[in-house]
Copies of this chain bind each other. A is one copy, B any other.
């Protein structure tokens, strides 16, 4: 298929690369051309504008930063609602607001686009290897039509419901992670402050009822003082803010999410936004 890919950050690069290696024609548009170099080498065509990028494509994938960026890419003067071919599939894979996803879907449908929200989990490794989990919201027929594309990028692709359901599922994912990060940090700090051999403690606790992806994957990085970003604090915080806002709309109490969000807000205020989320371990030193 002819596919336009908008946004080639660390996630987008891996995903677009999968599309290329599975034989799709991919044109790309991104704000920083240097970020597209490796894709251009692999055969992607770089375009100067969204308008040029989406000319005659069958589908457009967007993987940008914040909900405002999504809004701009779809509704902006240079955006997809103006320039994408009528009838094309528009697939927003950015983690963004469920409310925005629903609103965009409605407008897209009126304009005869087939819009899906399809955020992912699995990180840069999952993107690179085409093993992402993809959570999809939208019309069943459109999900079916998008499957050959989504299957290039993900292993577990689940249609979660109508427009917005993909984003809502991703928010549930982030809500589960948020509180667990506090648990992992507090457990390991407790072990360390007690003078135990923390790697032995990890061995005792990671396979039982305390076990989690974060404990096994981020715990060792915390203990080594490795704060390099797998997933940026500032991006996680974006997600948590959206989740809190949506929870409020639903009138749901979320004391754990609130506590975790306020810690990550503190990290941002302390200049830690571009560290990995596991730097929460270091940030706890600042608390009293």
- The interface residues of chain B lying within 8 Å CB-to-CB of A181 are 179
- Among the interface residues A133, A161, A176, which one has the most CB atoms of the partner chain B within 10 A? A176
A195 to B204, CA, bound (A): 38
A133 and B208 in contact (CB under 8 A), knowing A161-B196, A193-B252, A259-B256?
Answer: yes
A206-264 at interface with B (beta carbon < 8 Å): 207-215, 217, 231, 243, 246-247, 250, 252-257, 259-260, 263
A88-115 at interface with B (beta carbon < 8 Å): 98
Closest to A211 in B: B213
* 26 A-B contact pairs sorted by A residue (CB < 8 Å): A126-B208, A133-B207, A160-B200, A168-B191, A169-B196, A169-B204, A172-B191, A172-B194, A172-B196, A172-B210, A173-B205, A173-B208, A174-B210, A175-B190, A176-B183, A176-B184, A176-B215, A180-B180, A180-B183, A180-B212, A189-B252, A190-B247, A190-B254, A194-B246, A212-B212, A255-B287
- The interface residues of chain B lying within 8 Å CB-to-CB of A179 are 179-183, 186, 256
Asked if A270 lies at the interface with its beta carbon under 8 angstroms from chain B, I say: no
CB distance B205 to A187 under 8 Å? no
Q: Find A169's partner among B133, B201, B252 (CB 8 Å cutoff).
A: B201
- The interface residues of chain B lying within 8 Å CB-to-CB of A183 are 175-180, 183, 256-257
- Among the interface residues A184, A204, A257, which one has the most CB atoms of the partner chain B within 10 A? A204
CB distance A190 to B243 under 8 Å? yes
- The interface residues of chain B lying within 8 Å CB-to-CB of A214 are 209, 212
| Min CB–CB distance A178 → chain B (angstroms) | 6
Q: Find A177's partner among B121, B210, B284, B288 (CB 8 Å cutoff).
A: B210
CB distance B288 to A158 under 8 Å? no
Q: How many copies of this chain? A: 2
Asked if A171 lies at the interface with its beta carbon under 8 angstroms from chain B, I say: yes
Asked if A42 lies at the interface with its beta carbon under 8 angstroms from chain B, I say: no
Asked if A188 lies at the interface with its beta carbon under 8 angstroms from chain B, I say: yes
Closest to A263 in B: B255
CB distance A176 to B133 under 8 Å? no
A173 to B201, CA, bound (A): 9
- The interface residues of chain B lying within 8 Å CB-to-CB of A158 are 200, 203-204
A135 to B201, CA, bound (A): 8
Asked if A67 lies at the interface with its beta carbon under 8 angstroms from chain B, I say: no
CB distance A156 to B203 under 8 Å? yes
- The interface residues of chain B lying within 8 Å CB-to-CB of A200 are 158, 160, 169
Closest to A178 in B: B183
CB distance A176 to B172 under 8 Å? no
CB distance B207 to A250 under 8 Å? no
